[in-house]
Amino acid sequence: MSRVCELTGKGPMTGNNVSHAKNRTRRRFLPNLNDVTLQSEALGRAFKLRISAAALRSVDHRGGLDAFLAKAKNDELSANALKIKKEVAKAQAAA
């Protein structure tokens, strides 16, 4: 399982550990990923996603999973999230 957010595409970054003596060693900054279940109003069902804490706040800010996916760029979304986005758009167009 890769350490990449399914909604924002946020992944590990690299940097340095810096000691008091200014010795530098490489390290990784991992995103704060959580397994969450988000409800889609248009489809009336829940989806399990592995997203970052920042993405979860963004979903809440935009008004839910459907609104977030409508504004999200396709290249940032995972294959699973892209499939959900297409289903939501189809359901909203039919309604």
Q: What is the CA radius of gyration of the chain?
A: 17
Write out the chain's pLDDT in tens, 95 residues.
789 999 999 999 999 999 999 999 999 999 999 999 999 999 999 999 999 999 999 999 999 999 999 999 999 999 999 999 999 999 999 98
CATH topology of domain 13-94: Ribosomal Protein L24e; Chain: T; (2.30.170)
Task: Give the number of residues written for the chain.
Answer: 95
Half-sphere exposure of 20 (CA within 13 A, CB side): 0
Q: What is the per-residue pLDDT for 1?
A: 73
Cα separation, 88 vs 66, in Å, equals 7
Q: What is the per-residue pLDDT for 2?
A: 87
Indicate yes or no: pTM above 0.85. Answer: yes
Q: What is the per-residue pLDDT for 95?
A: 82
Domain ranges of the chain: 13-94
Cα separation, 52 vs 38, in Å, equals 13
Of the candidates 60, 54, 55, 53, the residue with the CA atom closest to the CA atom of residue 78 = 55
Q: What is the per-residue pLDDT for 9?
A: 95
Phi and psi (nearest 5°) for 92? -70, -35
Instruction: Give, in order, the Cα–Cα distances in Å from 59 to each of 18, 19, 40.
Output: 35, 38, 11
